[in-house]
A and B are shown apart, each in its own frame.
Chain A
């Protein structure tokens, strides 16, 4: 069974559209994250949720809105997509007292 899964794996869309990426973890972790990996492979944290509460928000445009319906899910909704949003988005999870994060396979978003 996949520990951290993301859907879709690929997402191609036009500028100005709104899209969502879903993430689910079956590890029983209480903390989930979204990271963005740009074209130069640089990874940067965007958000972190602990027990469905937002605890990290790293200067991300407010077009990006994470939503955590329960501890096992953390979705990322993006409004008014821009060319610069093209990247690979990774979801991750951890148990808050261990610090080891487990990553999903990534979602490659291409904005045309």
Chain B
């Protein structure tokens, strides 16, 4: 069965520091991979997605993620954190034709001044 693991339920960084949120998936076939962000009391917003094109995917708000098949990973990064990046981040996987997103447990990003 497909699954997604996000390491670290909380990640704390200082403003201006590198953001790294980890996501690993288990799958026997190449998946589609997504990162969503959820701000407090709001719905989920798509940050970026990987759909078997370029392995380095750029998203909104300066975020990017790299698909590494050998490591079954899709980690999310941002070179310099901003206070407004504080939110819950979800990695998700889907497979063509299944139309079902399987989410990781989420990582809360805390940004301190």
| Chain A interfacial positions (CB closer than 8 Å to B) | 4, 31, 33, 40-45, 48, 50, 55-56, 58, 90, 92, 94, 96, 99-106
Q: Which of B19-27, B63-71, B73-81, B98-106 lies on the face that meets chain A?
A: B98-106
Bound form: Cα–Cα A42–B4 in Å: 12
A41-B106, A99-B32, A99-B51 are contacts. A55–B99 as well, Cβ < 8 Å?
yes
B103 in complex: contacting residue of A31, A43, A50, CB < 8 Å: A43
23 inter-chain pairs at a CB distance below 8 angstroms, sorted by A residue, are A31-B99, A42-B103, A42-B106, A43-B44, A43-B90, A43-B106, A45-B100, A45-B101, A50-B99, A55-B99, A56-B99, A90-B43, A90-B44, A94-B99, A96-B99, A99-B32, A99-B51, A100-B34, A100-B46, A101-B46, A101-B101, A103-B36, A103-B44
Is B49 among interface residues, defined by CB-CB distance under 8 A? yes
Task: Evaluate contact between A105 and B105: CB separation under 8 angstroms.
Answer: no
| Chain B interfacial positions (CB closer than 8 Å to A) | 32, 34, 36, 38, 42-46, 49, 51, 88, 90, 94, 96, 99-103, 105-106
Task: Evaluate contact between B43 and A103: CB separation under 8 angstroms.
Answer: yes
CB of B21, distance to nearest CB on chain A (Å): 14
What residues of chain A lie closer than 8 Å to B43, measured between beta carbons?
4, 90, 103-106
A40-B105, A43-B90 are contacts. A48–B99 as well, Cβ < 8 Å?
yes
Bound form: Cα–Cα A94–B51 in Å: 15
What residues of chain A lie closer than 8 Å to B90, measured between beta carbons?
43
What residues of chain A lie closer than 8 Å to B36, measured between beta carbons?
103
A98 closest partner in B (C-beta): B51
Bound form: Cα–Cα A40–B9 in Å: 10
Bound form: Cα–Cα A83–B45 in Å: 28
Task: Evaluate contact between B105 and A41: CB separation under 8 angstroms.
Answer: yes
Bound form: Cα–Cα A92–B36 in Å: 13
Bound form: Cα–Cα A42–B90 in Å: 9
